[in-house]
Amino acid sequence: MKTVYLALGLMMTGHAFAASMTGSIGVKLTIYSQCSIEGSSLSAVRLPVTACGAQPDAQPKITQSVITRDAVTRQEARLVTVEW
């Protein structure tokens, strides 16, 4: 019976200790202006141009890769990926 009382007492002290804890968390929220992508002037060597405000760390990573090539018409399909 003593072990049951000991177990209940330990459980109650754990909850009482957790309820008495206080503190704070330092959080910073930065909201950037809306980004726009200009893809009308794409070529084989030019990637789309992005405008995401003046913050250099807000600029997306842009990559492109060729999916298919047609040797007859000399056309190729490309995948352009924009990652934030």
Examine the pLDDT at 84 and tell me if it is beyond 70: yes
Rounded CA-CA distance 21/33 in Å is: 38
Q: What is the domain partition of the chain in residue ranges?
A: 2-83
> E strands of the chain, at which residues?
36-38, 49-51, 61-70, 75-83
In the prediction, which pLDDT does 43 show?
Answer: 64
- pLDDT band of residue 6 (cuts 50, 70, 90) is confident
Which tens digit of pLDDT belongs to each residue from 44-71? Answer: 667 777 777 766 776 778 888 888 888 8
- Provide the β-strand partners of residue 28: none
Phi, psi (deg, nearest 5) at residue 9? -65, -40
Q: What is the pTM of this model?
A: 0.43
- State residue 28's pLDDT score: 87
